[in-house]
Amino acid sequence: MKEVILIKDGEIALKGLNRKTFEDVLKKNIKLSLYGLGKFKITSAQSTSYVIPLSEDFDIDEACERVSRIFGIVSFSRAGICEKDLDKILNFAPKYLAEQLENTKTFKVEAKRSDKKFPYKSPEICRELGGRILEKFPHLTVDVHNPEMTVTVEVRDFAAFVHTDPERGAGGIPVGTGGNAAILISGGIDSPVAAYMMAKRGVKLTAIHFASPPYTSERAEQKVVKLLKKVCRYSGPMTMYTVPFTKIQETIKDKCPEELFTIIMRRLMMKISERIAKDNNCCALITGESLGQVASQTINAIECTDEASKMVVFRPLIGMDKQEIIDISYKIDTFKTSIEPYEDCCTVFTPKHPRTKPILKYVKQAEEAANFREMIEEALQNLKITNINQRED
C-alpha cells in the first residue's frame, strides 16, 4: 500500500512575489531533515507538498516525526494513495483506515475535489463513502458537528489521497528565510528556548558559548552541545563557538567593583559575540533574557549591556514569565537537560549584591580601567569550534 506525507504550508501562503523563494527553502529543509530515512522525492502542487517514498525501507513513521518539527509547515497528513475512481476510493478508504475506524465511535467524511474534471462532486463522495464505512463498521455513528474522527478524501491532479485529521505542524517560516543571527547559549533553561523561537521566525543560527575552566567543567560544555542537538531538530545544523573566558572573568573579579561583576561580564560577552557574529555573516545577536528575571535583566542593566555592541539584539523571551519559558522548554525537550547540575560561567563569581540600576558612565570607567582589549583578542584567537546536528556522530 503506497503512502505519502501531505504537507500544508503555513505563512508562506501569505507571501507575494517572493513566495517561491520561501517554498524552495522549505523544500530544501525537508530534504535535509529527512536525510538517512531512505529514498524519497518531494513534489509540490496546488499549495501542497508531497513527500513520496521511493523505496520500501523508507521510514515513514520517523519521517512524520521529523516533519512535525520543520518550521514553515502548518499541518501534515500521512495519506494513502488511491486511483481517481469512485469505486476504488470506496473500497480503499475503509481498508486503509480500518484500525482507526475500529477504535472510534463517531466520524464524518470530508471531500476536497481539487480536480474539477472528476465526475463526482464533494457531497456525492461524502455520501457514498460515509455509507460504505457504515456498512463495514456498523458500530460507528455519523456526527458532522463534533466527530472523534474525520475521514478526508482529497481528489487531486494525479491521484486521490485518503487520510484522517491532519497533524499540527511547527508553524513559523522556513529556517534560512529570516537571515543569520548568533545565539549566546548557556546551559540554562532560557537560551535554548530563545534559539528555538528565533529559528521559528526563519533565522539560521550560530551558537556562542562561554566556558571558564576550571570553574566550569567539560560536562557543562557537553550539556550545551546536548541542548543544541535538541534545538537543531527544529533549527537545522549549526556551528558552536566556545570562547575561553577564564582569564577575563578572573580579571573582572580582581579589578572591577563587585556589584558590577555581572554587568561587565555581560558587556564583554556582547563584544566578543559581535566579533564572532560578524565573521559568520550574522546580522544580530540573540539572548534568553526576560525583563526583571535577575539583576542583569533590568531595563537599566540591559541598556548598559546593549551599549557594548552596535549589533541589534533580539530577546524573544523579554515579556515572558518563567513558567511560560519552562512550558516551551518541555515542548522542545530541553528542560530536563537544562536542569542537569553542571553550571555555566554566568554563575562564576556572582556578586552578593549586584547593581540593578547600573549607571553606564561608571560601568565603562570600571571596564576601561581593567583593560580587557588584549584578553578579548586572545579569547578570539583560541575559539573551539563544534559542528552541531541532530544525528549522533
What is d(CA 313, CA 15) in angstroms, rounded to the nearest whole number? 26
Do 141 and 208 reside in the same domain of the chain?
A: no
Fill in the amino acid letter for 319: G
Q: Are 22 and 174 in contact (CB under 8 A)?
A: yes
Do 69 and 203 reside in the same domain of the chain?
A: no
Do 54 and 95 reside in the same domain of the chain?
A: yes
Do 239 and 339 reside in the same domain of the chain?
A: yes
The conformational region for residue 384 under phi > 0 = left, psi -120 to 50 = alpha, else beta, is: beta
Please report whether residue 331 resides in a domain: yes
Cross-strand bridge partners of residue 242: 209, 384
Do 185 and 153 reside in the same domain of the chain?
A: no
Among the candidates 144, 170, 196, a domain finishes at: 170
Please report whether residue 116 resides in a domain: yes
What is d(CA 328, CA 335) in angstroms, rounded to the nearest whole number? 9
Among the candidates 131, 152, 170, a domain finishes at: 170
Domain with 60, as residue range(s), is 3-170
Do 339 and 192 reside in the same domain of the chain?
A: yes
What is d(CA 233, CA 29) in angstroms, rounded to the nearest whole number? 11
Do 164 and 191 reside in the same domain of the chain?
A: no
Please report whether residue 223 resides in a domain: yes
Q: In the prediction, which pLDDT does 393 show?
A: 45
Q: In what order do the strands lie in the sheet with 284-286?
A: 312-314, 284-286, 180-184, 204-211, 238-244, 384-388
Q: In the prediction, which pLDDT does 391 show?
A: 64
Do 193 and 163 reside in the same domain of the chain?
A: no
Do 161 and 303 reside in the same domain of the chain?
A: no
Q: In the prediction, which pLDDT does 298 show?
A: 92
Please report whether residue 175 resides in a domain: no
77 phi/psi in degrees, rounded to 5? -140, 140
Distances (CA, A) of 214 to 46, 328, 348, 385, 386: 58, 32, 10, 19, 20
Cross-strand bridge partners of residue 18: none
Please report whether residue 209 resides in a domain: yes
Among the candidates 135, 170, 205, a domain finishes at: 170
Number of domains in the chain: 2
Q: Where are the alpha helices (DSSP H) in 201-245?
A: 218-235
Listed in sequence order, the residues at least 6 apart from 323 whose beta carbon sits closer than 8 Å to its beta carbon are none
The grid coordinates of residue 151 equal 475521514
Distances (CA, A) of 258 to 167, 213, 243: 52, 21, 23
User: pLDDT tens per residue, the chain (393 residues)?
Assistant: 799 999 998 788 778 888 889 999 999 999 999 999 999 999 987 678 999 999 989 999 999 999 999 999 999 999 999 999 999 999 999 999 999 999 999 999 999 998 899 999 999 999 999 999 999 999 999 999 999 999 999 999 889 999 999 999 999 999 999 999 999 999 899 999 999 999 999 999 999 999 999 999 899 999 999 999 999 999 999 999 999 999 999 999 999 999 999 999 999 999 999 999 999 999 999 999 999 888 888 999 999 999 999 999 999 999 999 999 999 999 999 999 999 988 777 777 788 888 889 999 999 999 999 999 999 999 999 999 999 987 654
We report the CATH number of the domain holding residue 62 as 3.30.2130.30
Listed in sequence order, the residues at least 6 apart from 264 whose beta carbon sits closer than 8 Å to its beta carbon are 252, 256, 363, 366, 367, 370
Q: Identify the CA nearest to 383 among candidates 234, 206, 157.
A: 206
Distances (CA, A) of 311 to 113, 134, 177, 285: 51, 63, 19, 7
Angle at 130 between CA 129 and CA 132, to 5 degrees: 60
Please report whether residue 154 resides in a domain: yes
Do 12 and 120 reside in the same domain of the chain?
A: yes
What residue ranges in 254-314 does DSSP mark as E strands? 284-286, 312-314
We report the CATH number of the domain holding residue 207 as 3.40.50.620
| Residue found under cell 557537553 | 222
Do 152 and 238 reside in the same domain of the chain?
A: no
Please report whether residue 393 resides in a domain: no
Do 136 and 271 reside in the same domain of the chain?
A: no
Q: What is the 3-state secondary structure (H, E, C) of 52-93?
A: EECCCCCCHHHHHHHHCCCCCEEEEEEEEEECCCHHHHHHHH
Please report whether residue 118 resides in a domain: yes
User: Exposed, middle or buried by CB within 10 Å (0-12, 13-18, 19+), for 315?
Assistant: buried
pTM of the model: 0.91
User: Exposed, middle or buried by CB within 10 Å (0-12, 13-18, 19+), for 352?
Assistant: exposed
